[in-house]
Amino acid sequence: MTIISLFPLIFVLLWASAFVTGKIIVVDATPFAALAFRFLLVTAGFFIVMTWRREWQRVPIRSLGEAVGTGVLFHGVYLAGVFYAVLNGLPAGITALIVSLQPLLTSALAGPLLSETVSRRQWTGLAIGFIGTACVLGFDVGDTLPIAGIIAAVVALLAVTSGTLWQKTLTGKLPLATSNGYQALAALLFHVILMGIFESPPKLEATLPLVLAMSWQVFAVSFGAFTILMYLIAHNSASKTSALFFLVPPVAAVISWIILDETLTAARRVWFYGGKLWRVCGDSSEPNRAHGLIDRR
**pLDDT tens track for 220-238:** 999 999 889 888 878 876 6
Report the alpha-carbon distance of residue 158 to residue 251 in Å, rounded: 21
pLDDT at 14 (0 to 100): 95
Percent of the chain scored above 90 by pLDDT?
A: 36
Cβ density class 213-240: b for 16+ within 10 Å, e for less: bbebbbebbbbbbbbbbbbbbebbbbbb
pLDDT at 41 over 80: yes
Average pLDDT taken over every residue of the chain: 80
pLDDT at 74 over 80: yes
pLDDT at 116 (0 to 100): 63
**pLDDT tens track for 143-169:** 577 899 999 999 999 999 888 888 777
Q: Are the CB atoms for 157 and 248 separated by under 8 Å? A: no
pLDDT at 71 over 90: yes
Which pLDDT band, with edges at 50, 70 and 90, does 60 fall under?
confident
Report the alpha-carbon distance of residue 95 to residue 82 in Å, rounded: 7
pLDDT at 34 (0 to 100): 96
pLDDT at 252 (0 to 100): 81
Mean pLDDT of 205-226: 95
Mean pLDDT of 54-77: 86
Q: Which amino acid is at 253?
A: A
Which pLDDT band, with edges at 50, 70 and 90, does 135 fall under?
low
Q: CA torsion 42→17→248→89, rounded to 10°?
A: -100
pLDDT at 217 (0 to 100): 96
Determine the angle formed by the axes of helices 264-282 and 92-99, rounding to 10 degrees. 30
Mean pLDDT of 250-269: 72
Report the alpha-carbon distance of residue 154 to residue 78 in Å, rounded: 9
Q: Collapse the DSSP code of 117 into the 3-class scheme (helix H, G, I; strand E, B; otherwise coil) and give the result.
A: coil
Q: Collapse the DSSP code of 145 into the 3-class scheme (helix H, G, I; strand E, B; otherwise coil) and give the result.
A: strand
Closest CA to 17 of 185, 218, 201, 168: 218
**Candidate from 103-107, 156-160, 263-267 with smallest mean pLDDT:** 263-267
Which pLDDT band, with edges at 50, 70 and 90, does 107 fall under?
confident
Mean pLDDT of 234-263: 77
Mean pLDDT of 73-92: 91
Q: φ and ψ at 134, to 5 degrees? A: -60, -40
pLDDT at 257 (0 to 100): 81
**Candidate from 9-23, 50-64, 112-126, 253-267 with smallest mean pLDDT:** 112-126
pLDDT at 90 (0 to 100): 86
Which pLDDT band, with edges at 50, 70 and 90, does 13 fall under?
very high
DSSP alpha helices (H): ranges in the chain? 7-28, 31-52, 61-70, 79-87, 92-99, 102-114, 120-140, 147-168, 176-198, 208-216, 226-235, 238-242, 248-259, 264-282
Report the alpha-carbon distance of residue 81 to residue 35 in Å, rounded: 11
Q: Which amino acid is at 6?
A: L
